[in-house]
């Protein structure tokens, strides 16, 4: 192949890889946003649960905490959020594995071309050190009057 074709192929392959990586990172970023949103909702549920628990314990009610209004709903909601987070994290791993599988399959299908070995670089002999030139005083000739 000519040099121009090699350069063209390399640039094209580079853009292809960049596009694939961009798609992978976009998918992962979307799932991470979902995880962050779910974690925010989870934190809110924990706060609400803590408030309900505090209100219940501070009051003189003798009923069990789990039976008080809204506590069981919050517990179920917390479990749901934890499951969502776990599922989304598994989705990220799946996306990464798919991307790795695509790049490995592509690398196996493309056989590298045999490239000629570059010619050895000749080393030049070490250069002699330059010594500073001695300044020679110019002879003064007497001026005739």
Report in angstroms the alpha-carbon separations of 92 from 40, 47, 54, 121: 19, 28, 37, 48
Q: Which residue has the tokens 């919050």?
A: 74
Are 38 and 81 a contacting pair, CB within 8 Å? Answer: yes
User: Is 132 in a helix, a strand, or coil?
Assistant: coil
Taking the whole predicted model, whether its pTM rises above 0.85 is answered as no
pLDDT in tens, 3-60: 888 888 899 888 888 888 899 999 999 999 999 999 999 999 999 988 888 877 777 6
CA-to-CA distance for 105 and 99, rounded, in angstroms? 10
pLDDT in tens, 80-106: 999 999 999 999 999 888 888 877 776
């Amino acid at each position: 192949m000519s040099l121009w074709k090699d350069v063209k192929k390399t640039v094209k392959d580079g853009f292809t890889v960049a596009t694939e990586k961009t798609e992978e990172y976009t998918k992962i970023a979307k799932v991470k946003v979902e995880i962050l949103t779910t974690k925010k909702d989870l934190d809110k549920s924990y706060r609400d649960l803590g408030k309900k628990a505090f209100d219940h314990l501070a009051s003189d009610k003798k009923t069990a905490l789990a039976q008080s209004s809204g506590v069981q709903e919050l517990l179920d909601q917390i479990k749901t959020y934890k499951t969502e987070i776990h599922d989304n994290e598994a989705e990220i791993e799946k996306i990464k594995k798919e991307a790795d599988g695509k790049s490995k399959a592509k690398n196996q299908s493309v056989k590298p071309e045999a490239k000629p070995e570059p010619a050895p670089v000749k080393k030049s002999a070490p250069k002699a050190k330059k010594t500073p030139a001695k300044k020679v005083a110019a002879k003064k000739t007497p001026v005739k009057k």
